[in-house]
Amino acid sequence: MLTIGRLGQAAGVKVPTIRYYEQIGLLPPADRSAGNQRIYDRATLDRLSFIRHARELGFSLEAIRDLLSLSDKPDQSCAAADAIAKAQLQAVQARIARLRALQTELHRMIDQCACGTIRDCRVIETLGDHSLCAQDHGAEA
Amino acid sequence: MLTIGRLGQAAGVKVPTIRYYEQIGLLPPADRSAGNQRIYDRATLDRLSFIRHARELGFSLEAIRDLLSLSDKPDQSCAAADAIAKAQLQAVQARIARLRALQTELHRMIDQCACGTIRDCRVIETLGDHSLCAQDHGAEA
DNA sequence: CTAGGGGCTCTAGTCGCTATAGCTTCAAGG
DNA sequence: CCTTGAAGCTATAGCGACTAGAGCCCCTAG
């Protein structure tokens, strides 16, 4: 049996975050001690560790909610879990592609800067005039 | 002279976003017509285009605020502008590196899934047990 | 028995918008 | 001149995923 602080330490999650997860229903309402303090068991630690790991991999809380409810039904097909993971992989790949375009453009911008005055600064100039860009770098990161 | 709608179209920025930028002081308070509607000149279009382009490159509004105030002082050294751009480049590179680690881990997870039941699902299992991960994929995207 | 460290609730703030509600103004057509 | 509908206005609240603060209570060690 764990207090919220120990649970947080064990799972690598901050205490207010645990309370937040409870509030939004990602964790079930915790049992309380005589003095109204939350007490947790090992199963909750596992669940919280799952959440933390999924967050580290970039899953949204919504996706995690789905994954958790799947993991509670061991006999079902895991196709749905797979689909969520694949969507996440695609999202990650899209973000990488976009960031690479940004990286290129930022590099170009910085390389061209002769580091004189603002008047001649390519960084400022390039920002002001999109047509100076070599590539597209659409919206949304 | 432009209405807010035309300005938005010209710069590729939505109308509420323009009002928001004014509210937080990124754009100066607009002049008003007789009927209290905002009217804009070309200079504001340039400023807004600058903001939009910088946003597309991932700069924060705070960084853009700094860049704009620099661009108003053409005689100063552009070292400060350079520093902001370099910091942005570094941030982008860090995010790419992190996303690549995520990509690898997601790939591994999905590849190992034999697509049977949840009980045997490597996706769910891997999420529940960080030690199954090949690499580190620290916090923060 | 008291000190301090952890726990509790509730509220507000972060970032960069976006959406809604309910109003006024403007430009074009009849 | 009047109507209609688009576009404008203000003000407020919401998103995701927390984080920070205020002000209180509880529990354990010395």
Residue B140 has pLDDT above 60, yes or no: no
| Minimum CA–C1' distance nucleotide for B35 | C25
Architecture, CATH, for domain B4-71: Orthogonal Bundle (1.10)
A56, A67, A106 member nearest B137 (Cβ): A56
Position B92 confidence tier, pLDDT thresholds 50, 70, 90: very high
**pLDDT tens track for A33-49:** 999 999 999 999 999 99
DSSP-derived letter for residue A118 is: G
Nearest to A45 by CA among A73, A81, A3: A3
Is a pLDDT exceeding 70 seen at residue A141? no
All structural domains of chain A with their residue ranges: 4-59, 89-132
Q: Which nucleotides of C are covered by protein (CB under 7 A)?
A: 6-9, 15-20, 24-26
Query: A4-59: which CATH topology?
Result: Multidrug-efflux Transporter Regulator; Chain: A; Domain 2 (1.10.1660)
Per residue in A68-116, pLDDT tens?
999 999 999 989 999 999 999 999 999 999 999 999 999 999 999 888 8
Contact residues, chain A, for B130 at CB < 8 Å: 49, 53
Q: Which of B89, B107, B138 sits opposite A89 (nearest CB)?
A: B107
Q: Which residue is nearest to nucleotide D20 (CA to C1')?
A: A16
Contact A43/B at CB under 8 A: no
Cα B122 vs. chain centroid, distance in angstroms?
Answer: 34
Q: Is the pLDDT of residue B89 over 60?
A: yes
Residue A139 has pLDDT above 70, yes or no: no
SS3 string, B48-86, reads HHHHHHHHHCCCCHHHHHHHHHHHCCCCCECHHHHHHHH
How far, CA to CA in Å, does B99 sit from each of A87, B12, B122, B136?
A: 14, 29, 21, 12
Which tokens hold the place of A66? 């789905």
Residue A109 in contact with partner chain B when CB distance is under 8 A: yes
Q: What residues have CB less than 8 Å from A111, skipping those under 6 apart?
A: none
CA distance B103 to A91: 10
